[in-house]
Structure 1
Amino acid sequence: MSTRAITGDQWVVLRVPISGEGVTAEVAAFAARRQLRYDLGDDGTLRITDPESARVIVTVRWKTLPPQVPRTLGFQLPSAAAVDVLIDPGPGLAAGRIAAALHDALSGRALAYTDGELEGIRAAMPLLERYSAARPAFDNWALIFRDHYLEHSTGFVLAMERAGIPAEWIFALDKGDRTWNRERVHATFQARGYRSDVLDNTAVNLPHAHGDELARVGADIDAFLDAAHTAGRRVLVVDDGGLLARGYGAIGAPRTADAALELTVSGIKRIAAAGPLAIPVLNLARSQVKSRLGYREIADSCMRRLQALLPDRKLIGRQVLLLGYGTLGSRLAAQLRGLGCRVVVVDSDLPALIDAAESGFTTYRTAGQALAATSPFIVVGTTGERALSDADLDLLPDGLVLAPFATRDFCALTENAVHRGGASDIPGVGMRFALDRGRRVTLLGNGRSMNLFEADSIPNEGYDAYRAGTFIAAASLCADPGRVPAGLHTAPADDAIAEAGLWSAYYDLYAAQGKGAVRPPTVPAPRLADLPAPVPF
């Protein structure tokens, strides 16, 4: 919400996806809530006035716009209506505050996904739609969901609500990345009655520096857990390790969830550092559906984002230094080589390094060795840990580009107060750091996963199978949490996904050949009534 007034010389124009009649109705309702007078002039101008003095407090004008570009990854036909709304405050601080409040009210209408947009997201995730019918497995459960605020995340949480978890028992937490439509996701969740907040990865990784933030969010999580348990509900956590690392699954913790699904490798590392678990946790980070399908889509999103942020740079034939040859790094190495880049690989894990060498890549044990022996144009980070040391920074050539696809790879720059204080922001691109000897390096994004920097990352169809697999694993765990012992487990998730027929459904939808094959949805996405019926499991 706005914390300051809009002054008379700061009139604002707001674009909202509603009709002029909708604007008029919203302004009238706003005036009524504040016991102000509302008038509609013959010229279509809306005025909010003081009922006693008749002084004009805020003047509102609007105009209808031609069809607009989609505000989601997909598009809908016909295009949604849209108008530009000019909010012009009268003189004085009080008028400015009322204008700011009206701006917030109209923004709320502008931000939340429309029904048509939500239907488009659902229809673009046909596998999730197929499995997410209401089912008894979720009776008397509550959900805490922590992940990036993306369209496919929205689709997943709506599927959990559709499957039987009431809106008032859903608590969503954003991981803090600057994803494209994060404000829209937040507004949509709130409009549906979910709790929605931020538990930033940076706060989880550096708790000593974010005590106030963690205390506030932690108090809300505690209250949600207490309320759910008092109401006789068990709590499922779908997370990347942030909550479990904070103790909500640990032996001896004052409060714990009842079951959890872990989504990321970085989360697995945080869980391991937090100590023994008191609850069953299914490891989706290492599941077959993420390893075989999800990481292909993640790697593709990384490559697309790299090229989008460097539209004027030549990549073909250039030397690239890749830090980390794990599940993501190995796929990126192959894609970069396919593009024509000369790829140099660094990994501290010798089996991974041997794999890279025997796949034909030039390899080094350390970043320092690689930087001393080569002249890369780009350094790509995929480790999720500190990948460049302070000594390595002395070896970076002038003009180098740093491309992080995991958190903290380049924290030697981003977490160093001196380096960070001298950095220059490049809006929409990243940061430029000035090093000694006149060297300058450009960090794409904000030092976190740059495929999530002001982007929506993976296509909804691309993550559909992984979200469907996560849903299936959640339903299986919630149906009988007692059958899985406390600790971290991968096999129960893989087994549930296979038994539900997801692999067959995926193949039929996207890979099968012949006239009898089931084709992927067309664009625009089909109406929900045209999608396959849910499959019981």
Structure 2
Amino acid sequence: MYDIADSGLAEAGSRRIEWAARAMPVLHSIRERFAVTRPLADVRIAACLHVTPETANLLVTLAAAGAKVAIAASNPLSTQDDVAAALVGSHDLAVYARSGIDRDGYHTHIHRVLDIEPDLVLDDGCDLVDILHTERVELLDRVRGGCEETTTGVIRLRRMMAENALRFPMVAVNDTLTKRMFDNRYGTGQSTLDGITRATNLLLAGKTVVVAGFGYCGRGVAERAKGFGAQVIVTEIDPVKALDATLQGYRVRPMAEAAAEGDVFVTVTGNRDVIRAEHLEVMKDGAVLANAGHFDVEIDVRALHDLAVAVNPGIRPHTDEYVLADGRRLLLLAEGRVVNLIAAEGHPAAVMDMAFAAQALSVAWLAGQELRPGVYDVPEEIDAEVAGLKLDSMGLAVDTSTPEQREYMNSWRQVW
């Protein structure tokens, strides 16, 4: 029923889950509703998510709705062992997560959650869905659908759909406005710089920070870095996003040029080999390399190993020093994995409140649907409900349209 590091950590984990819950009033209100309506009664849910206090509050909400939940960690280095222990000891959930487990163990844990023969799946990066389609195909006919909450995962799902490989419907929770605007932009922006400063104790003011990728996550990182007083360079492959960054006041350069200027590099593209050997070869002594994308492929760590004549691991927590032949030192954070969840604690709970509220409502909606295989947007009414509940929790309100305004907006005829 579980594989965790230390069940004795449950009490400490419970305190952290309760602390996060204080900043998650929207999810709490949904949990209270679900406890009465039970929209997920007897539904089996297999999840592959980061095991954090915020995720724990989502899982407890789904359990309150009547679901049987099993979770594996979506990143071994982001797993918080006390939270895993609390989910087992205090909430009786099936948890397969240990901090620092190797790739084989990670793979095995995903198989264990799939052993419950799920009706629905929750994924963070599409690994669980990938294994279902390649190694556990006997379960595909049972799965009614699922949710994906990352940009990287949605990209993979859309490729599966384009190749007619996706066998059940998946809801792109990542693509909701409340998720992109708040979780991706404000959450990733703040937590990424939190991870970098915790790992390095670096003063960002006056430094040159190179942000690779100017989607919602990259925009958030660039904004926060600028707020710290850094000079920000943006690299992009999309000309529209590059123009957007330029008009917001950032310098836009190819990575081949930015590599020689940057003091801190942050990759947040969802793609691979964004920083390669030819970039590493021209970087300054002491340059910091951090990845805020989901997978550890955005920085070519193998190339960094090949260039190094010596490696000094752990010179600070989550900071490894690579010494090159000419004496330059490059600092790799969190082994090239997602820095905000490994060197810091991930997004603030107040941000995850909205993301996981949308996730919970989407799961309940999906449980009542009969959909063809494909990638679906979250219904607009769910996005609006989450935003409205968040405003209510903050004591804020918005205007409502008058009858005349509604008539004006719904008519093509000129109304004077």
TM-score (norm 2): 0.82
What is the distance in 2 between the residues matched to 1:379 and 1:114?
33
| Aligned counterpart for 1:310 among listed residues 200, 214, 227 | 200
The 1:265/1:421 distance shift into structure 2, 3 A limit, reads farther
Change (3 A) 1:447 1:420: farther
Aligned partner of 1:369 in structure 2 is 257
In structure 1, the partner of 2:148 is 262
Give the letter for the 2:396 counterpart.
A
Structural mapping, 1:259-298, within 5 Å: 259-274=145-160, 275=163, 276-295=165-184, 296-298=186-188
Q: Report the equivalent of 1:125.
A: 24
The residue that corresponds to 2:93 in the other structure is: 194
1:57-456 pair list within 5 angstroms: 108-113=7-12, 118-132=17-31, 133-134=34-35, 135-165=37-67, 169-179=68-78, 182-191=80-89, 192-198=91-97, 212-213=104-105, 216-217=108-109, 219-225=111-117, 234-248=119-133, 253-256=137-140, 257-274=143-160, 275=163, 276-295=165-184, 296-311=186-201, 313-364=202-253, 366-372=254-260, 375-384=261-270, 385-406=272-293, 407-408=295-296, 410-414=298-302, 418=306, 422-426=310-314, 427-456=316-345
Change (3 A) 1:120 1:481: same
- Per the alignment, do residues 116 and 395 of structure 1 end up closer, same or farther by CA in structure 2, a change over 3 Å counting? closer
Separation in structure 2 between the aligned mates of residue 421 and residue 468 of structure 1, nearest angstrom = 48
What is residue 465 of structure 1 aligned with on the other side? 354
- Please, which moves more after superposition, 215-224 or 397-406? 215-224
**Change over 3 Å in CA distance of 1:415–1:141 after alignment to 2:** farther
SS of the residue aligned with 1:164? coil
Deviation per CA, 1:455-481: give whole Å up to 9, x if none.
322222231111111111111111x22
The AA in structure 1 aligned to 2:265 is V
Preserved CA contact (<8 Å) 1:326 1:352: yes
Shift of 1:116: 5.4
1: CA distance, partners of 2:129 / 2:12: 30
What SS class does the counterpart of residue 343 from structure 1 fall into?
strand
**Distance in 2 (alpha carbons) for counterparts of 1:149 and 1:299:** 20
Map Cα deviations across residues 6-34 of structure 1 (whole Å, 9 max, x no partner): xxxxxxxxxxxxxxxxxxxxxxxxxxxxx
Between structure 1 and structure 2, the one with the greater Rg is 1
Secondary structure, counterpart of 1:456 in structure 2: coil
The answer on whether the counterparts of 2:245 and 2:252 sit within 8 Å (CA) in structure 1 is yes
String of CA shifts for 1:78-120, please: whole Å, max 9, x gaps: xxxxxxxxxxxxxxxxxxxxxxxxxx99x52334446655444
Q: Which amino acid aligns with 1:223?
A: D
State the 1:131 CA deviation.
0.8
CA-CA distance at 1:284 after TM superposition: 0.7
Q: Which has the higher contact order (CA 8 A, sep 6+)?
A: 2
Q: CA deviation at 1:415?
A: 6.8
Q: TM-score normalized by structure 1?
A: 0.65
Contact 2:48 2:74 in 1 (8 A): yes
Partners of 1:147 and 1:294 lie apart in 2 by 15
Q: Which residue of 2 aligns with 1:11?
A: none
Consecutive unaligned residues in structure 2, runs of 5 or more: 399-416
- Classify the secondary structure of the residue corresponding to 1:316: coil
Distance 1:239 1:322 in 2: 23
Shift of 1:148: 0.9
Deviations 1:364-423 (A, max 9, x none): 2x3113235xx2211221123221122222111222111222233553225765358942
Give the drift of 1:505. 1.7
Pairs within 5 Å for 1:519-534: none
Provide the rounded CA distance (Å) in 2 between the counterparts of 1:314 and 1:119: 33
Query: Distance in 2 between the 1:298 and 1:148 partners?
Result: 14
Q: Following the alignment from structure 1 to structure 2, what is the Cα–Cα distance between the partners of residues 263 and 338?
A: 27
Matches of 1:350 and 1:202, distance apart in 2: 40
Does structure 2 retain, via aligned residues, the 8 Å contact 1:446–1:453? no
Say whether the 8 Å CA contact 2:277–2:303 is kept in structure 1.
Answer: no
- Say whether the 8 Å CA contact 1:382–1:409 is kept in structure 2: no
Unaligned 5+ runs, structure 1: 1-103, 204-209, 229-233, 515-537
Closer, same or farther: CA 314–467 of 1 in aligned 2, 3 Å: same
Paired with 1:329 and 1:198, the residues of 2 have a C-alpha distance of 29
